[in-house]
């Protein structure tokens, strides 16, 4: 999984549990993905949300090519909460989200997340 101008490989590390792999896809929301990449690595404690887990990232972006439903494995930015959301199942979020990427390997890891789990997202 090599980095290209439009796709950036990422590792999602859950402390003490394991890691998953995915990618951020610039074409999905170019400004949001750019802001997330500048802040890498992203770190936080997750909290359950509709269909997944979120953590605050502090980039303060608005909606960009936003959607009202997501599939399992979606990585999204939630403007209302200023947070990244990792979706473990199909969902209709509380409010619009910007899809920014996808989890390609290790989706089952998200099932083990508990409120307060430490997560780190980094470039590979």
Chain segment 75-114, per-residue pLDDT in tens: 999 999 999 999 999 999 989 999 999 999 999 998 878 8
Using CA atoms, how far apart are residues 64 and 82, in angstroms rounded to an integer? 13
- pLDDT band (50, 70, 90) for residue 55: very high
73 in any annotated domain:
yes
Looking at residue 40, its pLDDT comes to 96
Q: Is residue 5's pLDDT more than 80?
A: no
Q: How large is the average pLDDT for residues 59-85?
A: 96
Using CA atoms, how far apart are residues 7 and 116, in angstroms rounded to an integer? 29
1 in any annotated domain:
no
77 in any annotated domain:
yes
Count: domains in the chain: 1
Q: How large is the average pLDDT for residues 13-39?
A: 96
| CATH code: domain of residue 113 | 2.40.100.20
Q: Which domain holds residue 103?
A: 7-123
């Amino acid at each position: 999984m090599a980095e290209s101008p439009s796709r950036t490989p990422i590792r999602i590390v859950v402390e003490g549990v394991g890691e998953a792999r995915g990618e951020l896809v610039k074409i999905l929301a170019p400004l949001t993905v750019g802001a997330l990449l500048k802040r890498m690595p992203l770190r936080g404690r997750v909290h359950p949300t509709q269909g997944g887990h979120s953590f605050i990232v502090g980039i303060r972006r608005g909606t960009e090519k936003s959607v009202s439903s997501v599939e399992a494995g979606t990585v999204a930015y939630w403007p209302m909460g200023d947070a990244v959301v990792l979706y473990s199942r199909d969902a209709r979020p509380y409010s619009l989200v910007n899809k920014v990427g996808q989890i390609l390997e290790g989706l089952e890891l998200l099932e083990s997340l508990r409120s307060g789990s430490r997560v780190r997202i980094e470039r590979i």
